[in-house]
């Protein structure tokens, strides 16, 4: 178990070629221990999503290595459960069929997977909505269904890209507490991307901070708060202190800072 | 009832037509009144199902052929860039050939049977199907493709789970256009020569100056087109049910 679940070594990526090349991320090295919840925090457009797309096997980086449980993830999809920024529910599948998409693609028996999914619908606050179309769900429910689909993927490494980015602040706070709950049941490794300082700190064991584009690793801050964490944690002095550290780091990472 | 205004308008037009023919004393071989068309229908009604059946069979078979060829071509065009650059201009050019010119040639090549009519319908119908389906396939959400690829999907699975379903509504849009022209296509095919069918019925009626019979045929052609269009609409509803759900905006 000493082997990290996720490891990035000197990862760089540039989009385009020659003079028009845009550097997205530069020389990122980090590792995530198995069973921990780690966030990557940075301003919009700092290349956070690029890291996840590399780990999901969808993007071949210009340089560096990306390992999942010791295996190279580069151009190797299927090693992780990946949740992109948009919910990307397939409009032509009812809620339950959307949830079991991963199993169907992996060629697993769909009947058993449906039963597994039905159980989770309760946990994810979606009970009774198994047979509706995605278009009939509210924003928060769509996001929970997308998360459910990700959690059903049989991988102990999950990559979540700003899953609550599109939600209003109140729904967002409720979803954060709930995500911690769901995560604590089986404690899979999570790499979580966000631009919300409080969200990163509330959910994570460790928060990595990226600079503005091109994203470089600035620092990391540990969040050693006992779990389960209560929503009131965010106003406790120790939490506020960590938050100040992160905000200061983000300011340093901004141009001219 | 949603069709009531349309029916009222139709009834009003009929009344004006009937009156105009009577008041202006228009000869029946120039423009028959609706009442005269109706009596022609009652007189010749018995022979019509046979002709209508032939034309509908040609239209339906042609539409099916157009759909099969259209989808195959669309898949090829959407997946291979070279095919897109080579074939697309040719397809557009093919639409510039008037069917009136092509139909007699098809009879020379394929005889007086059903084949040339079915081909005319397919030639008229495949173009909107190809164009729409290609747009549907190319317009699939790239991120959705990325999502299933991250789950380990192969090319066939991407096609089945993402590209196919997202192109389906566009395919049906094309099929509706093709359906609207299918019956007319069959009639053009029959014009040149056929044993039975509404097209040959129109030709014969014209030759004997039975303009009232021509109008009877026109009404049947219109009804047949509407029927075919409605069938495609129904198929679309059954095949793409998610396109017909009402979005829910409230929080739940």
Q: CA neighbours within 13 Å on the CB side: how many for B71?
A: 16
How many other CB atoms are found less than 10 A from the CB of residue A116?
15
Alpha-carbon gap, residue B229 to B233, rounded angstroms? 6
Does A104 fall in a domain? no
Strand pairing class (A217-222; A206-210): antiparallel
pLDDT tens for A1-11 read 468 999 999 99
Q: Does A110 touch chain B (CB under 8 A)?
A: no
Does B133 fall in a domain? yes
Does B42 fall in a domain? no
Confidence of residue A223 (pLDDT cuts 50, 70, 90): very high
Pairwise CB contact (< 8 Å): B146 & A84: yes
Q: What is the DSSP letter of A229?
A: P
Residue A75 has pLDDT above 70, yes or no: yes
Question: What's the pLDDT score for residue B251?
Answer: 44
Compute the 3-state secondary structure of chain A and give helix, strand, coil in percent, each to the nearest 5: 40, 25, 40
Question: What's the pLDDT score for residue B248?
Answer: 58
Question: What's the pLDDT score for residue A168?
Answer: 85
Strand pairing class (A71-72; A22-32): unpaired
Question: What's the pLDDT score for residue B252?
Answer: 41
Q: How many residues does chain B have?
A: 252
Question: What's the pLDDT score for residue A202?
Answer: 96
Does A152 fall in a domain? no
Question: Residue B3: which of B207, B248, B219, B226 has the closest Cα?
Answer: B226
Any idea what the CATH number is for the domain that residue B101 is in? 1.10.3720.10
pLDDT tens for A197-216 read 999 999 999 999 998 888 88
Q: What chain B residue is nearest to A81 in terms of C-alpha separation? A: B151
Q: Which residues contact B29 (CB under 8 A, 6 or more apart)?
A: B209, B211
Q: Does B248 touch chain A (CB under 8 A)?
A: yes
Question: What's the pLDDT score for residue A72?
Answer: 95
Number of structural domains found in chain B: 1
Alpha-carbon gap, residue A198 to A201, rounded angstroms? 5
Contacts of A57 in chain B (CB under 8 A): 149-150
Domain that holds residue A50: 1-80+188-257
Does B26 fall in a domain? no
Residue A61 has pLDDT above 60, yes or no: yes
Pairwise CB contact (< 8 Å): B162 & A139: no
Q: Does A228 touch chain B (CB under 8 A)?
A: no
Alpha-carbon gap, residue B21 to B26, rounded angstroms? 5
Does A7 fall in a domain? yes
Q: Does A191 touch chain B (CB under 8 A)?
A: no
Pairwise CB contact (< 8 Å): B242 & A92: yes
Testing the interface with B: which of A73, A80, A86, A88 to mutate, by most B Cβ within 10 A? A88
pLDDT tens for A104-156 read 999 999 999 999 999 889 888 899 999 999 999 988 899 999 999 999 998 99
Cβ pair A174, A30 in contact under 8 A = no
Any idea what the CATH number is for the domain that residue A225 is in? 3.40.50.300
Question: What's the pLDDT score for residue A136?
Answer: 94
- What are the average pLDDT values for consecutive 10-residue runs of chain B, which has 252 residues? 89 95 91 94 91 96 97 92 88 87 89 92 94 95 95 94 96 96 93 89 92 94 94 96 76 42
Contacts of A134 in chain B (CB under 8 A): 242
Contacts of A106 in chain B (CB under 8 A): 151-152
Does A50 fall in a domain? yes
Does A85 fall in a domain? no
Does B30 fall in a domain? no
pLDDT tens for B44-96 read 888 899 999 999 999 999 999 999 999 999 999 998 889 889 988 888 888 88
Residue A244 has pLDDT above 80, yes or no: yes
Where do we find the tokens 């202006």? B24
Cβ pair B225, B184 in contact under 8 A = yes
| pTM, to two decimals | 0.85
Q: Does A171 touch chain B (CB under 8 A)?
A: yes
Question: What's the pLDDT score for residue B1?
Answer: 74
Q: Does B48 touch chain A (CB under 8 A)?
A: no
Pairwise CB contact (< 8 Å): A82 & B250: no
Does B7 fall in a domain? no
SS3 A189: strand
Cβ pair A83, A158 in contact under 8 A = yes
Question: What's the pLDDT score for residue A169?
Answer: 86
Does A89 fall in a domain? no
Q: Does B146 touch chain A (CB under 8 A)?
A: yes
Domain that holds residue B72: 51-240
Does B6 fall in a domain? no
- pLDDT, averaged across chain A: 91
Number of structural domains found in chain A: 1
Pairwise CB contact (< 8 Å): A105 & B161: yes
Question: What's the pLDDT score for residue A124?
Answer: 85
Question: What's the pLDDT score for residue A2?
Answer: 64
Question: What's the pLDDT score for residue A171?
Answer: 83
């Amino acid at each position: 178990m000493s082997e990290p679940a996720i490891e990035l070594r000197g990862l760089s990526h540039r989009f385009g070629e020659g003079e028009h090349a845009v550097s997205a991320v530069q020389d990122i090295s980090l590792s995530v221990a198995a069973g921990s919840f780690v966030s990557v925090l940075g301003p919009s457009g700092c290349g956070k999503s690029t890291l996840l797309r590399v780990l999901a096997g969808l993007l071949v980086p210009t340089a560096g290595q990306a390992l999942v449980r010791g295996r190279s993830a580069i151009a190797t999809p299927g090693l992780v459960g990946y949740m992109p920024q948009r919910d990307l529910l397939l409009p032509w599948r009812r809620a339950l069929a959307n949830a079991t998409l991963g199993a169907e693609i992996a060629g697993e028996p769909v009947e058993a997977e449906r039963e597994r999914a039905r159980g989770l619908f309760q946990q994810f606050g979606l009970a009774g909505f198994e047979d509706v179309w995605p278009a009939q769900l509210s924003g928060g429910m769509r996001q929970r269904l997308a998360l459910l689909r990700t959690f059903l993927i049989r991988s102990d490494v999950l990559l979540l890209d700003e899953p609550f980015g599109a939600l209003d602040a109140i729904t967002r706070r409720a979803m954060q507490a709930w995500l911690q709950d769901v995560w604590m049941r089986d404690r899979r490794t999570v790499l979580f991307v966000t631009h919300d300082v409080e969200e990163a700190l509330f959910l994570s064991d460790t928060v990595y901070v990226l600079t503005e584009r091109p994203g470089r690793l600035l620092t990391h801050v540990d969040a050693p708060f006992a779990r389960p964490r209560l929503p009131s944690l965010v106003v406790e002095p120790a939490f506020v202190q960590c938050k100040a550290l992160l905000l200061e780091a983000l300011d340093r990472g901004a141009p001219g800072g | 009832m949603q069709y009531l205004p349309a029916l009222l308008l139709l009834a009003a037009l009929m009344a004006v037509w009937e009156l105009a023919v009577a008041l202006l004393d228009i000869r029946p071989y120039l423009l028959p009144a609706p009442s005269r068309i109706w009596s022609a229908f009652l007189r010749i009604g018995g022979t019509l199902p046979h002709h209508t059946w032939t034309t509908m069979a040609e239209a339906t078979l042609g539409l099916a052929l157009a759909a099969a060829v259209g989808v195959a071509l669309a898949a090829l065009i959407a997946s291979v860039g070279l095919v897109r650059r080579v074939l697309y201009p040719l397809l557009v050019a093919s639409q510039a050939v008037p069917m009136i010119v092509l139909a007699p040639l098809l009879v020379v090549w394929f005889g007086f049977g059903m084949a040339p009519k079915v081909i005319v319908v397919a030639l008229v119908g495949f173009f909107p199907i190809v164009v729409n389906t290609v747009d549907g396939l190319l317009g699939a959400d790239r991120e959705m493709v990325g999502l299933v690829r991250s789950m380990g999907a192969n090319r066939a699975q991407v096609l089945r789970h993402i590209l196919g379903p997202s192109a389906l509504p566009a395919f049906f849009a094309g099929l509706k256009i093709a359906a609207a022209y299918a019956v007319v296509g069959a009639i053009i095919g029959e014009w040149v020569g056929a044993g039975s069918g509404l097209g040959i019925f129109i030709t014969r009626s014209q030759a004997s100056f039975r303009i009232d019979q021509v109008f009877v045929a026109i009404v049947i052609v219109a009804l047949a087109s509407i029927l075919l269009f409605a069938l495609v609409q129904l198929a679309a509803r059954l095949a793409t049910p998610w396109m017909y759900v009402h979005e829910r905006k409230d929080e739940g």
